[in-house]
Amino acid sequence: MTVTELRPEGGETYAEGLARAEQASAEAEAQRIRNEQDRRRAELADAKAEAKAQKDIQAALDEAADEKRRRDDARRAESARRARAEKSAALWKRSALTIAIVCIVVSLPLQIMAFWDPSAWFLVAAPFVLEGVAWALLMGAQAAIDDERPSWHYRAGALLQALVAAGINYAHGSAEYGMATGIGGALCSVIGPVIWDLHEHGRIAKRDGRKPRSVRRAEVKAARSEAKRVKAVNALRAAADETVWQRAVDLSGFLGETGPSDATYRRAWTEVHGAEVGQTAVQIAHTRAVKRAVRLAQNGPLKDEKAQVDSQMEPEGESFPRAPKKPGTDGRKKNGGTPPKRTPGTKYSALARSQMSAEQKRSSSDQTATVWPSLTHACTDSTGEL
């Protein structure tokens, strides 16, 4: 007996211990390798996740920077627009005020000359009253605009007073200095207040947020076009299906609409036909039949159709043998003459499945027997050999 075969009592031999130790060492090494691989895979997954997170963070930062840049650009553009608007408004105000002062310089002396009378020197105040009342009313309109009160009556009074002054200037200037002077003096009496009133009118429009006339005209035109379109669509709907249209009209009245909306018409169609707009039971059946025909032409029988169904149909020119029918029945007992209907989804019995499988196999063998002789004849030469 060798040393390696020595077996301590109740223990294992040296060779068995050595083999077990080597196996344990190999398993430990394999486990270490697996652990190392798992660690590397985990590190790789962590690296990928960190790279993806960094990419997402960078994308988010870029998006935030782009959004901030867009906001800054919009803010700068809005600031520039406001600055231009304020500059234009200040220039317009100075121009209107300058024209008004020049008009007063022309019209007021002409009216003073019209009212001058050495024997009634006090009438020299009349021109100041006529011109002053017009401008006082315009200042009242300005105060009303700033206080967000109605200002139309101030402006109307100022225009009426300016017309009175213009008439006096026209009469006096035409009589004393000619037609041109009369017309010029009258225009100066009117132009000054009118120019200032136009300035105030712009402030009123800005305060009330009125849209420009071009925008209002475009909106009116778009509304008319939309009304024409709706009228044409409603006429087509009424002509296409009168029942659905009448139901839509009834629903629109119940819902407080001036006319059937698109949502109301869809609801009416669903109530009448039980389907989406444009679909009916006939249309759906036709569509399914056409799709089935196309699939059969392209791929053969449908996946949900079973070949065994053919065994339940009568061949052309033949009929299945049936038991003689009793009067008022179809050969079955106590069915009142109405054959039972097979419920969709009901499984065939084991006997029926076996019979249908046998029928299908027999049909396949008959077709093979019919085709084989023709193939044999076609492959045979004149000597009678294949």
Residue by residue, DSSP assigns 252-316 as HHHTT-SS--HHHHHHHHHHHHSSSTT--HHHHHHHHHHHHHHHHHHHSS-TT--GGGGGGSPPT
Helix 152-177 vs helix 14-115: angle between axes, to the nearest 10 degrees?
Answer: 40
Structure tokens at 51: 């790279």
Structure tokens at 131: 């011109």
pLDDT of residue 267: 92
Cα torsion angle, 138, 144, 148, 153, sign: negative
pTM exceeds 0.85, yes or no: no
- Give pLDDT tens digits along the chain (386 positions): 444 444 555 556 777 778 888 888 888 888 889 899 988 999 899 888 888 888 888 888 888 888 889 999 999 988 888 888 888 888 888 888 888 888 888 888 888 888 887 887 888 888 888 878 888 888 888 888 788 888 888 888 888 888 888 888 888 888 888 888 888 888 888 888 888 888 878 777 777 777 777 888 888 999 999 999 999 999 999 999 999 999 999 999 888 888 899 999 999 999 999 999 989 999 999 999 999 999 888 886 555 555 444 445 544 444 445 555 555 445 555 555 555 655 666 666 666 677 777 777 776 655 544 544 443 444 444 444 44
Q: State how far the Cα of 316 lies from the Cα of 311, in Å rounded to an integer.
A: 12
Cα torsion angle, 139, 140, 145, 146, sign: positive
Q: Specify the length of the chain in residues.
A: 386
Q: State how far the Cα of 78 lies from the Cα of 74, in Å rounded to an integer.
A: 6
pLDDT of residue 344: 60
Amino acid at 341: K
Do the beta carbons of residue 270 and residue 241 sit within 8 Å?
no
pLDDT of residue 250: 92
Q: State how far the Cα of 271 lies from the Cα of 260, in Å rounded to an integer.
A: 15
Q: State how far the Cα of 197 lies from the Cα of 349, in Å rounded to an integer.
A: 98
Structure tokens at 243: 């029942």
pLDDT of residue 326: 52
pLDDT of residue 246: 92
Close Cβ partners of 195 (under 8 Å, ≥ 6 residues apart): 96, 99, 100, 103
